Chains A and B, each alone.
Chain A
Amino acid sequence: MSERPPFAFDPGVQLERTALAWERTGMAVAAAGLLFVAHVPRHLMAVLVPLGAGFVIYGIGLLAWSARHYEDLHGRLPEGASVVHVGSVRVVGMATAVFAASALVLAVLSL
Chain B
Amino acid sequence: MTDADPGKRLPATRWWHFAFPPDPRRSGHEPDYRFSFANERTFLAWIRTSLALTAGGLGILQLLPSFLGREILGILLLGLGLLAAASSYRRWAIKEQALRAGAPLPPSRLQGTTALGVAVVAAVALVLIIIEL
Q: A residues near B, CB below 8 A? A: 10, 12, 14-15, 17-18, 21-22, 24-25, 28-29, 31-32, 35-36, 39, 77, 80-84, 86, 89-90, 92-94, 96-97, 99-101, 103-104, 106-108, 110-111
Q: How large is the interface on B (under 10, 10 to 19, 20 to 34, 35 or more residues)?
A: 35 or more
Whether A14 contacts B33 by the Cβ 8 Å rule is: yes
Secondary structure of the A side of the interface?
A: helix
* Structural contact, A104 and B75, CB atoms closer than 8 A: yes
Interface residues of B, dominant DSSP:
helix
Say if the beta carbon of B12 comes within 8 Å of chain A: no
How many A-B Cβ pairs are below 8 Å? 121
Whether A93 lies near B30 (C-beta < 8 A) is no
Task: Identify which of residues 77-132 in chain B touch chain A, using a CB-to-CB cut-off of 8 Å.
Answer: 78-79, 81-82, 84-86, 88-89, 92-93, 96
- B→A interface (CB under 8 Å): 1, 23-25, 30, 33-34, 36-38, 40-41, 43-45, 47-48, 50-55, 57-59, 61-63, 71, 74-75, 78-79, 81-82, 84-86, 88-89, 92-93, 96
